[in-house]
């Protein structure tokens, strides 16, 4: 009998470890998504600032744009629409990542409830 009870204990230990690994994976994914959202929000703020600055300028005014590490001379009427398009794309991406974050956070909560896991606060 003692052989079967020790095999149950041995079978349970990896299960706890697997649960811990899954919970850590959820947390890591949430941190990565939150980090990316923060990074994109900074880019969005930069785009908004540049758009706000360039909007009152004459359309034929010279400006410079950094494209793939190369500084390119353009005029405001060429750059402003591209900046607005980029800003809109960044906003869309932030919204998608926020939705993804909320879903993963809910998945983590459901996983914790299902497996009776509580996160210990430090």
Q: How far apart are CA 20 and CA 24, in angstroms?
A: 6
> How many Cα neighbours within 13 Å face the side chain of 28?
6
Residue 60 has pLDDT above 80, yes or no: yes
> How many Cα neighbours within 13 Å face the side chain of 34?
9
pLDDT tens digits along 77-116: 999 999 999 999 999 999 999 999 999 999 989 988 888 7
Contacts of 108 (CB under 8 A, 6+ apart): 23, 26, 27, 30
Give residue 121's pLDDT.
62
Percent of the chain residues past pLDDT 70, beyond the cut: 86
- Of the candidates 17, 32, 36, 26, the residue with the CA atom closest to the CA atom of residue 106: 26
Contacts of 96 (CB under 8 A, 6+ apart): none
């Amino acid at each position: 009998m003692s052989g079967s009870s020790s095999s149950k204990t041995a079978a349970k230990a990896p299960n706890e470890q697997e649960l811990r690994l899954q919970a850590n994976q959820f947390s890591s994914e949430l941190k990565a998504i939150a980090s990316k959202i923060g990074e994109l929000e900074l880019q969005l703020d930069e785009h908004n600032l540049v758009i706000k600055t360039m909007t009152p300028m004459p359309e034929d005014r010279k400006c410079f744009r950094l494209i793939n590490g190369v500084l390119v001379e353009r005029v405001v009427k060429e750059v402003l629409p591209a900046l607005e398009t980029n800003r809109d794309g960044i906003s869309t991406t932030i919204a998608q990542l926020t939705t993804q974050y909320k879903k993963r956070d809910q998945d983590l909560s459901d996983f914790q409830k299902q497996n009776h896991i509580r996160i210990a606060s430090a």
